[in-house]
Copies of this chain bind each other. A is one copy, B any other.
Amino acid sequence: MEKNDISILGAGLIGSLLSIYLKKRGLDVSLYEKREDNRKSQYKEEGRSINMALSDRGWKALEKIGLKDKIMPLAIPMYGRKVHDEHGKTTFMPYGKDNQAIYSISRGRFNRVLIDEAEKEGVKMNFGHRCDYINLHKNEMHFAVGFEKNRVFSNIIIGADGAYSALRMAMQKQGRFNYKQEYISHGYKELTIPATPNGEFAMDPNALHIWPRGKFMLIALPNPDKSFTCTLFLPFEGTKVCFDKINDKQDVIGVFKTYFDDAYQVMPNLAEEFLRNPTSALINIECYPWVQDKALLIGDASHAMVPFYGQGMNCGFEDCFILDSLIDKYGTTAWDLIFAKFQKNRKPDTDAICQLALENFTEMRDAVADPKFIIRKKIEAKLHSLYPKDWIPLYTMVTFSDMPYSEAYAQGKLQESIMDKVMSNPLITQNWDKLDYGDIIDQMDAAKAV
């Protein structure tokens, strides 16, 4: 039986990054990935959502180990949402202040760079290793490697193996493991807007494009090759426009011409892609504890969230950063203490971002199309510019700060209740710019004092 010090399951974004963090401390780190090493072949990333939106929490985690400058050239800044209405008219809504952006990056390319870095640092890479069984009491893992079995003992096991985590399945069989998996009623399908015939972006590349249509929506994020990756979110069944009712080329074109005509005009391969690509489901996972004996869950394995706040990867990276900060404090041997502190401190924050991600779906597919929503965002932006410390919009707290998610959530709920009152003014559309902004801040202070 092989013996490891630290074994990480999953060489996705979180597992790779964590392996670099731990290896840089001089620890013995082995990384296990069920897929083959895709760096050798042309990576196939068709049909699964491949664009991530890197924001402040993610950058901060990359910066701490000196990777920010290496990743930045791969990323395209998006400074706001560009909302497309049914007639193709667009409205730009900045995400934050002028220089604040989230960054579109290809998951596959990003992952390859992180794996290269991990290998360079001396992490032991094990591709094509499918974890079949874990004995948590004996710290023992069994891997299927082709037709062989490989038994591995490890002092520490960290599961960065995603929403369908093998480590979490093992924990679920233990007593007193709380677990929830919840699929939302919508699925998604990936599509493409290719570069134009003259090799240009078909739309503004520095925005996240949204076609909000109430119960469903289309979004598009830019790629360095001047294409956009689009994701269509529809209910699986039971409504007028749903995946169940789109079964042939005509259905596809019918829906796109009716609801997304300006996008349709720049999607030459739409129907083929639609019919070929899989329809995927969206899951929310919450569980606790994350620690059993010497094993820890991290990233999606412990808190898979729906993609509507663009925080899944950023939150997983922040997991790595926080775990590493605890190692800074307690050293590389006090794993019991570090794991206990990690799960206790971190759990309320991941609960908060899971919840925010669920709630933001309604905002993206519905609210952003409402003229009043735009006014609301303008009032909040103005409050923030007048009182930068007293009123930070929720999106800014989540995306452009490292405030704990749970705190952002609580502040966001307070702001929401105050803004609901502000927006109930029937003349708000006309006189939003002339409001008593100081009074709104006073209300916020009063609410906080309760």
Contacts and interface: CB of A to CB of B under 8 A. Distances in A.
B179 A180 contact: yes
A161 to B, nearest CB: 15
A236 B236 CA distance: 43
Contacts of A178: 181-183
A281 interface: yes
A330 interface: no
Contacts of A236: 176
Interface in A175-207: 175-183
Contact of A175 (B177, B179, B281): B281
A378 B167 CA distance: 53
A178 B283 CA distance: 9
Interface residues of A, number: 12
Contacts of A181: 172, 177-180
Nearest to A175: B281
A446 B172 CA distance: 47
Interface in A229-244: 236
A364 to B, nearest CB: 21
Nearest to A183: B176
A216 B177 CA distance: 22
Contacts of A180: 179-182
A281 B176 contact: yes
A178 B185 CA distance: 11
Interface in A130-182: 172, 175-182
A182 B175 CA distance: 10
A437 to B, nearest CB: 39
Nearest to A279: B175
Nearest to A236: B176
A72 B177 CA distance: 38
Nearest to A284: B178
A405 to B, nearest CB: 22
Contacts of A177: 181, 183
A179 B172 CA distance: 12
A236 B172 CA distance: 19
A66 B180 CA distance: 40
A210 to B, nearest CB: 25
A3 B182 CA distance: 35
A357 to B, nearest CB: 17
Nearest to A286: B180
A182 B179 CA distance: 6
Nearest to A282: B176
Nearest to A283: B176
Contacts of A182: 178-180
Contacts of A175: 183, 281
Interface in A291-342: none
A183 B281 CA distance: 27
A35 to B, nearest CB: 19
A238 to B, nearest CB: 13
A12 B178 CA distance: 25
Nearest to A180: B180
16 contacts: A175-B183, A175-B281, A176-B183, A176-B236, A176-B281, A177-B181, A177-B183, A178-B181, A178-B182, A179-B179, A179-B180, A179-B181, A179-B182, A180-B180, A180-B181, A180-B182
Given A177-B183, A179-B182, A180-B182, 15 more contacts: A172-B181, A175-B183, A175-B281, A176-B183, A176-B236, A176-B281, A177-B181, A178-B181, A178-B182, A178-B183, A179-B179, A179-B180, A179-B181, A180-B180, A180-B181
